Structure 1
Amino acid sequence: MFKRLAIFVHSLYGGGAERAMLNLARGFSQQGIQVDLVLLRVEGNYLSQLPPEVKIVDLGGGRLWQCFPALVRYLQQEKPSVMLSTLDDTNIAALWARRLVGSKTRLVVNVQNTISQDAKNAKQLKTRFMPQLVRWFFPWADAVVPVSYGVAEDLMQIGVSKECIQIVPNPVVTPNVFQKAQEEVDHPWFSPNQPPVILGVGRLNRQKDFHTLIRAFALLRRQRPARLVILGEDEGEEAALRTLIQELNLTEDVDLPGFVSNPYAYMAKSAVFVLSSLFEGLPSVLIEAMAVGTPVIATNCQSGPLEILDNGKYGKLVDVGDASGLATAILETLKAPLDSDVLRQRGNEFSLERSLAQYSQVLEGADCGITI
């Protein structure tokens, strides 16, 4: 077993990748492994959840190129046994830093999203160019770990060799999820004898396509009483979403509370959870909602929902951008929800324990058996 693990990520703001790295850091530190959490910026909603055993390495708080020399120095001086990096630009930086140092640190890069889809929808030049950067530099990695088969297939289409890919789903379901799901929700719509609440969770950006969810909810409201809550911090879309809510006369029935530290309590008390994304990697929120027993619906986007829901066995799949289809799926699910125990069992297949075991093998250099 390796003795020292470095996990390299931008910060600990509230995204699925950051939450996955937080869970891995906690899990490996509980196994007695020294874990360094290497951050460009020591900030984010998840910082308070870090155990004291995890060492925070501050690279200076600037942009990635400004922090790059500090990353190089860290590898030179600290020489961790293995480094796990996540998210595309930090993956490229980690690969270059190790190459410049000539370090013997084993480097595993984690891929959370379908890079080609991200590039198509990006405004930033570096993101649009990322498939080419991945094709050039990912061969330098000791292993490439996508979070789903769909992400793995996307990587191979970009040009990453099949031989270096090992799929490991994110460590989504932890005991903490179930504990927090039992807490009360400080929101009047979750009181007894209220209309059912439809829930969406995710950053308010184009990828999550909450516009389609709001339009679907407007269609649903024509047929029955209901309410819609969308949790997540703003990434440029909140103003447009609020304008759409006003245009559709939904201000009394749609709420955008922003980021909440405990979304699991909202999930457990909602009638239906809906993922409306244009694209994903392995959407953690979909798994978390299932794990607490809430019926789920998802767009059949690339990638993740098809795998998680087993081709519709555990929740309805709807075409991307189809508001009418989404409204119909919500209505049908409200009328005939799947059994909560069945959903919980499926959600628990994406547990921290299973992910830690698979990651241990990859980080040690062994074949974890989930090759494509």
Structure 2
Amino acid sequence: MNENNKIAIVITGMSFGGAERVTAYLSNYFVSCNKDIYLISLTKTEPAYPLAGLVHYIQLDPSESKNPLVRYRALIKQIRNTIKKIQPSLVLGMMSYSGSLTAFACAGLKIPILLSERNDPNTTQSFSNLEKKVIRFAYHKFAYRAVFQTESAKTYYYRRDSFRGVVIPNPLYLEDLPSPNTGINNTMEIMSAGRLSKQKNQQLLIKAFFLVHEKHPQCTLTIYGEGDQRMQLEQLISSLHLESSVSLPGIESSIFPKLQKAHMFVMSSNFEGMPNALIEAMAMGLPVVTTDYSEGRGTLVINNKNGLVVPRFNEKALAEAMLFIIENPKLAFEMSRNALCVRNELDSRQICKKWLDTIEETITAYK
């Protein structure tokens, strides 16, 4: 295969998650466009999403040292050695952590570095102030270009440089989608999906649901996903005596049949980039309620037009929004029809082509 077709993609791991799913889809798409793809995982994880047979999947062996500096240094060395062996025409670093390590690892190799931020850096709580400074330094010093999901994320890093920052939203894979719901389901099941984590703040959702359940005891809440907050969430459910109304069934490999049966979809996150689960719920014609995870900078859900947006950390406001959907079915249906526009706006064929165009433009401009 032509040496110019080699692309190395570096990511923290390939377990279940929005960024991981997009990375798998992009890898498969690039292979279909005759690119030679090397997908490098910084952890020993088997891919949670299917990878085309021609994708070279490489798992690095991270240090188990308790000293973070030792771990980072070891990973940077492994990344650098791997990239030197592959000799790609471009390196793509996905996500803040793995992207910044990749940028440091590839410094001086004379290979264009394209980074991709998958969260909103304005609101993320995943990193300390020092870590944020290091990540920003990596973007400014070593990244040739970077891809962001939203304009606000781009301006966080590159306020004036229109070439270095590229906005590409998350793709929606229409071939995976069933036909959208034709009406509001009367199942009274409120649904959510995402990693069980502090970021997703399912505790807020459960507390808000408690208020909804008091008024509409026939309602149920199902939260799909897995994570380190499971025990805390189970304890909260028990303390509110909601065991028969709230369920945590774990990871669901095919979420669309579940979306087809739900009454509404709710997202309670503290911060997000461009959440896949919310996009898919909108594409299935569900009424959606979401926290203002990007503090007014979001463009996905417009309040009272294609869904309801409430302040973060406000269980009363979240409960009131869910009650509004339940008690105003005509308005809820109207918003759900407006939400179907994401099917056209985020068509994966257009989004993946934009990714490929950006990569090829970057390689050409770097020469």
With the length of structure 1 as denominator, give the TM-score of the two structures: 0.84
- Superposed displacement of residue 78, structure 1: 1.5
Structure 2 counterpart of 1:278, one-letter code: N
Identity of aligned residues (%): 25
* SS of aligned partner of 1:166: strand
2:339 to 340, 343, 360: 343
Matches within 5 A, 1:36-51: 36-44=38-46, 46-47=48-49, 49-51=50-52
Question: CA offset at residue 300 of structure 1?
Answer: 1.1
Shift of 1:23: 1.2
Which shifted more, 297-306 or 82-91? 297-306
Contact 1:299-1:305 within 8 A present in 2 as well: no
Relative to 1, partners in 2 of residues 1:305 and 1:221: Cα closer, same or farther, differing over 3 Å?
A: farther
Number of residue pairs matched by the alignment: 345
Question: Which residue number in structure 1 is paired with residue 37 of structure 2?
Answer: 35
Maintained 8 Å contact 1:134/1:160: no
Of 288, 301, 307, 1:309 maps to 301
1:53 counterpart residue number: 54
Structure 1 position 232 matched with structure 2 position 233: no
Match of 1:321 in 2: 313
Looking at structure 2, the residues matched to 284 and 4 of structure 1 have their Cα atoms a distance apart, in angstroms, of 28
Q: Letter of the aligned partner of 1:244 in structure 2?
A: L
Query: In structure 1, what is the equivalent of residue 86 of structure 2?
Result: 78
Residue 300 of structure 1 corresponds to 292
The Cα shift of 1:20 comes to 1.1
Mapped pair 1:357 → 2:353: yes
Give the counterpart of 2:254 among 241, 256, 262. 262
CA contact (8 A) 1:283 1:305 kept: no
| Residue 112 of structure 1, aligned match among 115, 118, 121 | 118
- C-alpha distance in structure 2 between counterparts of 1:302 and 1:169, whole Å: 15
1:37 Cα shift? 0.8
Answering whether residue 234 of structure 2 is matched by residue 242 of structure 1, we say yes
Matched, 1:171 2:171: yes
Structure-1 separation of matches of 2:160 and 2:62: 31
- CA deviation digits over 1:40-93, x for unaligned, max 9? 23424525x111121112223545543332321222121111121112121111
For structure 2, the residue ranges without an aligned partner over 5 or more in a row are: 64-70
Q: Which residue of 1 aligns with 2:68?
A: none
Partner of 1:290: 282
Per the TM alignment, residue 250 of structure 1 is displaced from its structure 2 partner at its CA by 0.7
TM-score by length of 2: 0.85
The alignment partner of 2:321 has SS state of: helix
How far apart, CA to CA, are the structure 1 residues paired with 2:83 and 2:279? 35
Provide closer, same or farther for how the CA distance between residues 289 and 65 of structure 1 changes in structure 2, counting only shifts above 3 A: farther
CA contact under 8 A between 2:174 and 2:343: conserved in structure 1? no
Q: Summarize the Cα distance change of 1:295–1:311 in structure 2 as closer, same or farther, 3 Å threshold.
A: closer
Q: Secondary structure at the match of 1:134?
A: helix
Higher helix share: 1
Shift of residue 234 of structure 1?
1.5
Q: Which residue of 2 aligns with 1:187?
A: none
Gaps of 5+ in 1: 183-192, 368-372
Match of 1:3 in 2: 5
RMSD: 2.7
